[in-house]
Structure 1
Amino acid sequence: MAGIRRVKLDSQGFEVSAQGLGCMGMSYFFGAPKPEPDMIKVIHHAINAGITFLDTSDVYGPETNEILIGKALKGGMREKVNLATKFGVKYDNREMEVSGDPAYVKYACEASLRRLGVDCIDLYYQHRIDNRVPIEITMGALKELVEEGKIKYVGLSEASASTIRRAHAVHPLTAIQLEWSLWSRDVEEEIIPTCRELGIGIVSYSPLGRGFFSSGPKVLENLEDGDMRKDLPRFQAENLEHNTIMFKKVSDMAAKKGCTPSQLSLAWVHHQGNDVVPIPGTTKIENLEQNIGALSVKLTPADMAELEAIASSDSVKGGRYWDGIPTFIDTETPPLSSWKA
């Protein structure tokens, strides 16, 4: 493997490349799906560069991103990667529904295995928490999938500290996926310490602020129809002007460090510890190479302190999502005693 170190993501020894590849934007949320042959080239380039950790979900497309990954892994590539996908978010007449029902967990896993063309998923996340179903019930179904050899490791995405504790008591969690970047730091209060106490790895999605730390407000200039960023609060005019102040400060610091703003922002995530693996997404090989370059950016304690002063809580205006999107703020589930199958 060319130059990308590997880390043990959790106390169980799940080993992945220190940086992963988020594949969502290839198929969904950021405009029209990108040409399949081009995306397969990006995925193969990442694998050949030493990135072993690919992240997808059944809702990306929906479903088409898993099919894309399945095609990319043919011809001997499967053995070179750690494959992560997710279940739990589905759309019914364009309305988002979250499900942690055990029967649905089993159904979703079988469907993902078929689309990916694999016998086993390395890391299977609950994408969002169903607050109608005790987390112990959902975890029980995931534990059975491990015992059946259909998944190796279990994770949660956007889960609160208390939900993580309850889930981990049923079956060890390998990773928690959460948004962690210079402009999304609220997870540092409770969730990160809980993961570290329990020996659970941390997977950072959107570590570049959905492209904001790559090009600042210019990221909005060429967005396609259907790109979710057009609707996100932090990208709205009334907030963007304020948030651009942070980008300019990061850019100035990056110039002094001899790297790009995106590399500096990504390096800040890497310097949070060996139990943190960011999964920046891209659809372009040149951006992929730039992201890999972030692994070579060295930050001193003084650099980290400067960045964290730049990224203080009052530096960002606007929520991470629009109203109605479930996050770790509202993931409490009923007690196990209330469940009636």
Structure 2
Amino acid sequence: MIDVGIIGGSGYTGGELLRLLANHPEVDVRLVTSRKLSGKPVSLVHPHLKGIYSLNFEALSAKEAAERCDFVFTGVPHGTAMDWVPDLLDAGARVIDLSSDYRLPVEVFERTYDMKHRAPRDSVFGLPELHPEVAGARLIGNPGCYPTGAILAVAPLAHAGLVERVVFDSKSGISGAGIEPSATSHYPNMSENVIPYKITSHRHVPEMKQELGLLSPGIEVNFTPHVIPAVRGILTTAHVFAKEGAAESLQDKEAVARIYSSFYKEAPFIRLADGAPRLGAVRGSNFCDISFEAERESDRIVVVSAIDNLVKGASGQAIQNMNLMAGLDQRTGLWFPGMLP
């Protein structure tokens, strides 16, 4: 069995890790930390886990946590994970960080988050469909939820050298904002509404540029997020504009389907949808559903992806990475359908 710990387990990603790991056949969850809830049962803040776990939250040092665990998930806010990760690594644990602290090169992180990185470490960007080197990593920077849906939607076309520019428009459920209430997540503000925010300056854009730029240097990336009155899910519409001379290639539906099928042939969680993807089809699951449609007599193809922001966009992807790092089939503990309706 793999002994696992969760640092910062009182939020949505911590609760989702616990839910998913409860039925993982190779995992024993040994500890969950929260300084402010130390000594209190996990089910106090995660009532859906009552009777599933008998764990209490603990207040531990990184060294104490690492001594009891093979793998540690860090679910603390950005700027805080860097206070934990080096000590966890030095004490022998392998780490999957769900914050933003280890997703980007140091200089990009500091510019994006306007803070000094206090503890740089070598890491792998944890999008396993693009980074097989996840398997040998000691530290994973788990991608953001928006970049996961966006990058996976366009990566095959970027890799094929067909894309000049992509404009991402994403709609997210309110759980993406975290467990603490805000003006955006307040019901009277959110109900029957769609709220764009950080319209041209979202902090996840550098991840999109980084990963798509590795596949196709010079690609232009623009992004606008919206919050919708739903709890879970991200639907991303990617307006993909072809490079000069490539528009005709994007008009061939069967050829584009072959590009996606070939690129994702070893990616069990990627599904090409029949028609537009539906959030209900991926809700609660680790799947990413993708479809596309070329605009006639145009250089634009529209690609749509759907993920659950808390699963493939966070905790499920973190477990997928852990599986690969541990030498397990990446589907272990994650191979189940979404919750429709």
Structure-1-length-normalised TM-score: 0.33
Structure-2-length-normalised TM-score: 0.33
Structure with greater proportional helix content = 1
Report 1 or 2 for greater relative contact order, CA contacts < 8 Å, sequence distance ≥ 6.
1
